[in-house]
Structure 1
Amino acid sequence: MPHAYPRVKKMASNSRRSSGAGSSRRSTNGMRERASIQYRDGEMTNAHRHFLQSLMSKRIMTKREAKKTASDSHRLYNEESSGEGPLFTEFVQTINAKLESLGFKIGMSKVEHDGSEWVGFANTSSTGGGDVIQKASGLGLAELEFFRTCLQQMVTEENNGVASSSALLAKLNTLQRKMTGKAAQDLLVSLTKDHWFFEISRGHYCMGPRCFIELLPFLPEIVGESIEECRLCSNRVVMGDRCLGCDTKLHTYCIVQLSRRGQVKCPQCHEEWEGEIPTLE
Structure 2
Amino acid sequence: MVQSADVQKLFLQAIFSRGILSENLAKVLWKKSIEAVKAADQDLEIAYSNDPERWDNFVADVNVSLNDLDFEFKSIQDELNGKKLFALVNRKDDELAQLATDYSAVEIAFFKAVVEQIMLARNESYSVSSLAALREVSAGKEKINLTKSQAEVLLGSFVASGWLLRSKRGRYSLGPRSLLELSPYLKSTYAEEIIECTICHETMTKGIACKRDNCKTRMHYFCFETYRRRHSTCPACSLNWPQNATDDGLLSVGELAVRHGATEDRQTRGSPDSEDDQDMEHEPSQTQTKSRQPRRSQSTKKQNNAREEEEDEEDINEEEEEAEYTPPPAQRKSRR
Instruction: Identify the TM-score tier after normalising by the shorter chain.
Output: 0.7 to 0.9
Of 179, 198, 204, the residue aligned with 1:237 is 204
Instruction: Tell whether 2:40 aligns with 1:73.
Output: no
Correspondence for 1:269 among 212, 223, 237: 237
Take 1:114 and 1:87, find their aligned partners in 2: how far apart are those partners?
A: 25
Post-superposition shift, 1:178? 3.1
Structure 1: gaps spanning 5 or more residues: 1-10, 13-30, 36-44
Structural mapping, 1:87-98, within 5 Å: 87-98=54-65
Alignment-derived partner of residue 162 in structure 2: 195
Structure 1 distance, partners of 2:84, 2:221, is 14
- Structure 2: segments with no counterpart, 5+ residues: 39-45, 247-326, 330-336
1:173 matched residue in structure 2: 138
Secondary structure of 2:158's aligned partner? helix
**CA distances 1:89-127 after superposition (whole Å, capped 9, x unpaired):** 221110101111111111111222333321111111233
Q: Which residue of 2 aligns with 1:211?
A: 178
Mapped to 2, the partners of 1:67 and 1:59 lie a distance apart of 16
Secondary structure of 2:237's partner?
A: coil
Residues 162 and 206 of structure 1 are in contact (CA less than 8 Å); yes or no, is this contact kept in structure 2?
yes
Q: Is the 8 A contact 1:110 1:212 kept in 2?
A: no
Quote the offset at 1:239 in angstroms: 1.6
Which secondary structure state, in structure 1, belongs to the residue aligned with residue 202 of structure 2? coil
Paired with 2:57 and 2:240, the residues of 1 have a C-alpha distance of 37
Higher relative contact order, chain-length normalized (CA < 8 Å, sep 6+): 2
Question: Does the C-alpha gap of structure 1 residues 271 and 82 become closer, same or farther in structure 2, counting only changes over 3 Å?
Answer: farther
Q: CA RMSD in A?
A: 2.5
Correspondence list, 1:101-116, <5 A: 101-116=68-83
Aligned residues between the structures: 237
Contact kept in structure 2, 1:108 and 1:119, CA below 8 Å: yes
Aligned-partner Cα distance in 1 for 2:52–2:123 = 38
Q: Are 1:71 and 1:83, in contact at CA under 8 Å, matched by a contact in 2?
A: no
Percent identity (aligned)? 25
Kindly indicate whether the alpha-carbon contact (under 8 Å) linking 1:244 and 1:274 is maintained by their aligned counterparts in 2. no
Q: Which residue of 1 aligns with 2:115?
A: 151
Distance 1:240 1:104 in 2: 30
Displacement, 1:192? 0.9
The range that moved more, 82-91 or 238-247, is: 82-91
Which whole-Å CA distance do the structure 1 matches of 2:47 and 2:110 have between them?
Answer: 46
Normalized against structure 2, the TM-score is what? 0.63
Structure 1 residues 133, 53: CA separation in 2 closer, same or farther (over 3 Å shift)? Answer: closer
Instruction: State how far apart, in whole Å, the 1-side matches of 2:77 and 2:188 are.
Output: 21
Contact 2:124/2:205, CA 8 A, preserved across alignment: no
Could you tell me how far apart the structure 1 residues matched to 2:73 and 2:146 are? 34
Amino acid at match of 2:23: K
Deviation at 1:275, TM superposition (A): 7.5
1:21-100 alignment, distance < 5 Å = 45-78=5-38, 79-100=46-67
Is the 1:172–1:179 Cα contact (8 Å) retained in structure 2?
yes
Q: Does 1:253 align with 2:226?
A: no
